[in-house]
Amino acid sequence: MPRSYPARVERVVALLCNPSAGGGRAARVLPEVEAALRELNVSFHTELTRDVAHARELARAAARAGEATVTLGGDGLVGCVVGGLRDVPNGSAFIGIASRGFDSDANRIANTAPSRLGKLVYLYGGLRALAAWKPARFELRLDGEPLAFSGYSVAAANSSSYGGGMKLAPDAALDDGLLDIVLIAAHSKPGFLRTLPQVFKGAHVTHPAVRIERVRALHVDADRPFEIYADGDPVGRTPATIGITPGAVSVLAPR
């Protein structure tokens, strides 16, 4: 019998690929992705991104042309595309998780790690950061309510995962209009190290040092300056205010 195909999708797709993502895995699977799009009768053109600014401009150009943007890469590519499609006055847009504290050190180290480590760069960054870590004092306002604690990190999660599959906020949802604020209080380094692998399953949330609050806005400061990383890239420094913007971008998703 002749093979049947779905009706042609009229909207053109701009396929943005970061060829170095995942230690080069994105470039390796690109031919398979292109073949799948052809089989689905999707009109598309492929663009290889050079850096964050280039990816952002490609996303803006696609939007001006009425095209849908599809990304093939990591958190950083998704984040910068969202930033290109949704400008924020005097600030930076992100779609996944923005964190500071211990995560700041871990992200900085991971971003300079050898690309051959692939997804293991985040585990590598975490172990290196832990060796030199000293607890920080955080001053927060959660929807205006003050909260202070000493510990490792504060993360504002719009989605559940980051860093090569770590489920930092397993119940976070992109479409619920809330941020899951993950607070990790001070405890021993050996205890932190034992808990670290559990993050990949989201099982760390049962640890007594982990607290999660759900809010629309977070203001955070610390006893020393921290770079804020969102979707894997630096976007600002403490002190900072992070909020949610419901319906910021339109997304194509399965039913």
pLDDT of residue 4: 44
pLDDT of residue 90: 86
Residue 124 φ then ψ, to 5°: -60, -45
- The position carrying tokens 């559990």 is 198
Residue type at 7? A
pLDDT of residue 87: 67
Q: Which domains are seen in the chain, by residue range?
A: 9-85 (3.40.50.10330), 97-243 (2.60.200.40)
Full-model pTM: 0.81
pLDDT of residue 160: 92
d(CA 84, CA 82): 5
- Cβ–Cβ < 8 Å for 65, 116: no
Residue 172 φ then ψ, to 5°: -70, 145
Q: How open is the CA angle 187-204-208, to the nearest 5 degrees?
A: 45
- Cβ–Cβ < 8 Å for 96, 249: no
d(CA 63, CA 94): 18
- Cβ–Cβ < 8 Å for 147, 161: no
d(CA 214, CA 155): 11
pLDDT less than 70: residues of the chain? 1-9, 87-89, 118-119
pLDDT of residue 220: 96
pLDDT of residue 1: 36
d(CA 209, CA 193): 13
Provide the 10 A C-beta neighbour count for residue 238: 21
d(CA 204, CA 166): 10
pLDDT (tens digit, 9 = 90+) per residue, 222-244?
999 999 988 878 888 999 999 99
Token pair listed for 222? 């610390």
Integer CA distances (angstroms), 39 to 3, 8, 34, 206, 251, in order:
11, 10, 9, 45, 22
pLDDT (tens digit, 9 = 90+) per residue, 13-29?
999 999 888 778 889 99
pLDDT of residue 228: 93
Helix 102-111 / helix 120-132 crossing angle, nearest 10 deg? 130
pLDDT of residue 79: 82
In 105-253, DSSP assigns E strands to 136-142, 145-157, 179-185, 210-215, 217-222, 227-230, 233-237, 240-243
